[in-house]
């Protein structure tokens, strides 16, 4: 049975490999010249730049993925744990380095708020439960029917997961110190909603970050993609690059053919790992869409990003591998992203200097720096705006590091909304997918199965379980099981 997978991001590689392992004949059609989706890589002037994901969290999800095929992550890349995990820069350039040790992290919190070490331990105990239920059970549900959730145990789990309580109110039961609150709420900004609108169950992210650790694959995040591609090809998956899909042809309620800029491909099953909205809006006839334009207009999107890739001809002091600049008002920035979408007046930003861990990704004595500003989706995106924000954050970065940096930049590339649209057909130029709000959870996310085309499935960050690299990996495996249930060979 022939399966066509559209897109070779994490979910596309995951579903393709799983189906090939089950005996299906699988071909991936990838729009770009390299596999990996948002996790692509490029090289310039001796620097190697990961284009997208830079945080390696939830190592167990990666371990379990490769273990499904009797492999180990170490078969494909070498991991190192970062210690400190990352640095948080607060107002006045106060710097807090978060140690990898939970005990030392508890001591750090205690030094900031008396009694907080014990409260932190209790917070982690609850977060561990949420991680265990959420990541090992909840996210594996395809969310195609309410009956999946009709069990007393699951209802009990849902209550204990704090699904109906906000993260903001939950975290304030444990801590009052504003600095601790900022550090605990930081992952939420990238989940796509304010802490006030994000279910408290996402404290599981704090458990993943703090207990399971922040890691880095030597050579860069693209090493994960290389490993997944190698495994996929070992299983017999064909990966065809530079294949821009133009249409999915549906006959008698079944998707029969995928037409690209280079040719036509017959299929018994089609899995769309590309942008869900783009597939529905551009590749299918209107009568075959799950959702109309009004539905998509009402979706709450996670932030987009303005990114800068910088090659610098000297080493930069003070920076760690990961650095979060929370030196401006978090609430103002969040308001400008989520409530009144606009370019931020005083942006928060993230700076990654992976050369602090891995010197192989830059020429000797040089620094590889990746900068990210979370911004609202669908904003006007121009070179003038990008330059304005480049200088805003570089001025703060130079002040913090105590050295000039801009005059040492030998390579610079920016990336924002229009690039996400051009390269990934990203709905509203999104970078991460849908926000993890209560009304966009499980059954309330776009369905992974077409309601009108019996052999068409969806996977990736706009369907279950949600945005992020580990959820995308899981999404592919979940869809593979659904395909196999419907078309077992």
The pLDDT score that the predictor gives to residue 19 is 98
**% of the chain beyond a pLDDT of 90:** 88
Contact between residue 372 and residue 379 where contact means Cβ atoms under 8 Å apart: no
Q: Confidence band (pLDDT; 50, 70, 90) for 114?
A: very high
Sheet holding 456-458, edge to edge: 238-240, 25-29, 2-6, 269-272, 456-458
The pLDDT score that the predictor gives to residue 145 is 86
How far CA 413 is from CA of 42, 116, 144, 307, 393, in Å, comes to 11, 42, 41, 8, 15
319/481 Cα distance (integer angstroms): 44
For 288, residues 6+ apart whose C-beta sits below 8 A from its C-beta are 250, 450, 452, 453, 456
Please classify residue 198 by burial: count the beta carbons closer than 10 Å to its beta carbon, then call 0-12 exposed, 13-18 middle and 19+ buried: buried
| pLDDT at residue 124 greater than cutoff 70 | yes
pLDDT digits (tens, 9 = 90+) for 200-222: 999 999 999 999 999 999 999 99
Give the lowest-confidence range in 161-165, 245-249, 367-371: 161-165
Domains and CATH numbers, the chain: 2-78+219-299+434-486 (3.50.50.60), 104-212 (no CATH), 301-423 (3.30.519)
Q: Confidence band (pLDDT; 50, 70, 90) for 334?
A: confident
The pLDDT score that the predictor gives to residue 298 is 95
Contact between residue 54 and residue 190 where contact means Cβ atoms under 8 Å apart: no
| Three-state secondary structure of 86-145 | EEEECHHHCEEEECCCHHHHHHHHHHHCCCHHHHHHHHHHHHHHHHHHHHHCHHHCCCCC
Q: Confidence band (pLDDT; 50, 70, 90) for 329?
A: confident
pLDDT digits (tens, 9 = 90+) for 13-49: 999 999 999 999 999 999 999 999 999 999 999 999 9
Mean pLDDT in residue range 288-308: 95
Taking the whole predicted model, whether its pTM rises above 0.85 is answered as yes
């Amino acid at each position: 049975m022939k399966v066509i997978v559209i897109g070779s991001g994490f979910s596309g590689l995951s579903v393709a490999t799983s189906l090939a392992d089950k005996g299906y004949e699988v071909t991936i059609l990838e729009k770009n010249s390299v596999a990996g989706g948002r996790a692509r890589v490029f090289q310039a002037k001796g620097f190697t730049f990961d284009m997208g994901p830079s945080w390696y969290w939830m190592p167990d999800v990666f371990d379990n993925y490769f273990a499904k095929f009797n492999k180990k992550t170490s078969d494909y890349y070498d991991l190192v744990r970062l210690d400190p995990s990352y640095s948080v820069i607060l107002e006045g350039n106060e710097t807090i380095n978060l140690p990898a040790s939970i005990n030392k992290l508890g001591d750090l919190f205690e030094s900031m708020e008396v009694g907080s070490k014990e409260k932190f331990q209790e917070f982690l105990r609850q977060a561990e439960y949420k991680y265990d239920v959420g990541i090992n059970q909840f996210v594996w549900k395809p969310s195609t029917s309410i009956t999946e959730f009709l069990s007393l145990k699951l209802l009990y789990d849902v209550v204990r997961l704090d699904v109906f309580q906000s993260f903001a109110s939950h975290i304030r039961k444990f801590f009052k110190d504003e600095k601790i609150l900022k550090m605990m709420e930081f992952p939420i900004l990238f989940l796509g909603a304010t802490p006030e609108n994000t279910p408290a169950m996402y404290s599981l992210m704090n458990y993943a970050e703090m207990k399971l650790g922040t890691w880095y694959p030597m050579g860069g995040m693209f090493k994960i993609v290389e490993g997944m591609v190698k495994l996929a090809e070992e299983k017999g998956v064909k990966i065809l690059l530079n294949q821009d899909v133009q249409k999915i042809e549906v006959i008698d309620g079944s998707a029969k053919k995928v037409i690209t800029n280079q040719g036509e491909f017959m299929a018994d099953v089609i899995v769309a790992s590309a942008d869900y909205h783009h597939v529905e809006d551009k590749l299918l006839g209107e009568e075959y869409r799950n959702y109309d334009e009004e539905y998509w207009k009402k979706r709450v999107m996670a932030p987009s990003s303005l990114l800068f890739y910088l090659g610098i001809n000297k080493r930069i002091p003070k920076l760690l591998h990961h650095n979060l600049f929370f030196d401006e008002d978090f609430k103002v920035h969040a308001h400008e992203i989520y409530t009144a979408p606009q370019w931020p007046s005083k942006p928060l930003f993230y700076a990654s200097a992976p050369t602090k861990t891995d010197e192989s990704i830059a020429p000797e004595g040089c620094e590889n720096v990746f900068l990210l500003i979370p911004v609202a989706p669908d904003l006007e995106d121009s070179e003038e705006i990008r330059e304005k924000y480049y200088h805003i954050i570089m001025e703060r970065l130079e002040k913090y590091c105590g050295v000039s940096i801009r005059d040492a930049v030998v390579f610079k590339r920016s990336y924002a909304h229009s690039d996400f649209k051009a390269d990934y057909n990203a709905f509203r130029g999104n970078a991460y997918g849908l926000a993890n709000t209560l009304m966009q959870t499980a059954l309330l996310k776009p369905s992974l199965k077409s309601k009108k085309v019996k052999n068409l499935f969806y996977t990736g960050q706009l369907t279950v379980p949600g945005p992020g690299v580990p959820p995308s990996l899981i999404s592919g495996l979940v869809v593979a099981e659904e395909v196999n249930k419907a078309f077992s060979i």
